Chains A and B, each alone.
Chain A
Amino acid sequence: KAGVTQTPRYLIKTRGQQVTLSCSPISGHRSVSWYQQTPGQGLQFLFEYFSETQRNKGNFPGRFSGRQFSNSRSEMNVSTLELGDSALYLCASSFWDNRPDTQYFGPGTRLTVL
């Protein structure tokens, strides 16, 4: 079974631009979570989507947003990029209603903001 896929794998942007990252979950998984990983802050939760609705949100500014489509694929958007947004952005998928519900991660998108 194919794993979580993320596109693009690498991205270089300049300050002030916006960026959209894409995540395709494992087949059958309906929940998608997004995380940001930086050397200084470690892995931090951004938000989680299930059934096209944001179910949980981390402590990030409104410049970070996301959405989920009816096929469970998800996108996240960062507007007005700042240098500090340079990070590895990770997507994780899970069934949602399993007990416990194991999350599986994709390879990540490496975003560099210049």
Chain B
Amino acid sequence: DAKTTQPTSMDCAEGRAANLPCNHSTISGNEYVYWYRQIHSQGPQYIIHGLKNNETNEMASLIITEDRKSSTLILPHATLRDTAVYYCIVRVLLSSGSARQLTFGSGTQLTVLP
């Protein structure tokens, strides 16, 4: 799986949009971009994934650049409960064998401030 680069930490004011960037410049055509988050000492929570089009669900939006070398996760109205470590992961489309395991990097610690 392609390597990802994320900022170590970010702050966001409560009620404002949180924009979390991820660089995946070596992504290949058959790799999806996945986002998970982990609130302290809990299991990672799936947020969203995408291939090349922008995606939106009830939790967040995912904006992928046209060249697919980077993406941004947007939490439209951050709350204190969104404070967590956010992980950007790329995974092959046809997941089989060792490619199925998730490889988490260090992620971005997002702190939502009151």
Q: Please list the residues of chain A having a beta carbon within 8 angstroms of any beta carbon in chain B.
A: 4, 6, 31, 33, 35, 42-43, 45, 48, 55-56, 58, 88, 90, 92, 99-108, 110
> CA of A99 to CA of B30 in the docked complex: distance in angstroms?
11
How many A-B residue pairs have C-beta atoms within 8 angstroms? Tell me: 59
Please classify the interface of chain A as helix (H, G, I), strand (E, B), loop, or mixed, using the class held by over half of its residues. Answer: strand
Q: Please list the residues of chain B having a beta carbon within 8 angstroms of any beta carbon in chain A.
A: 32, 34, 36, 41-46, 49, 91, 93-95, 97-98, 100-106
**Are A106 and B106 in contact (CB-based, < 8 A)?**
no
**Are A108 and B43 in contact (CB-based, < 8 A)?**
yes
**Are A33 and B49 in contact (CB-based, < 8 A)?**
no
**Are B49 and A102 in contact (CB-based, < 8 A)?**
yes
Specify which chain B residues have a CB less than 8 angstroms from the CB of A103 in the assembled complex.
46, 102
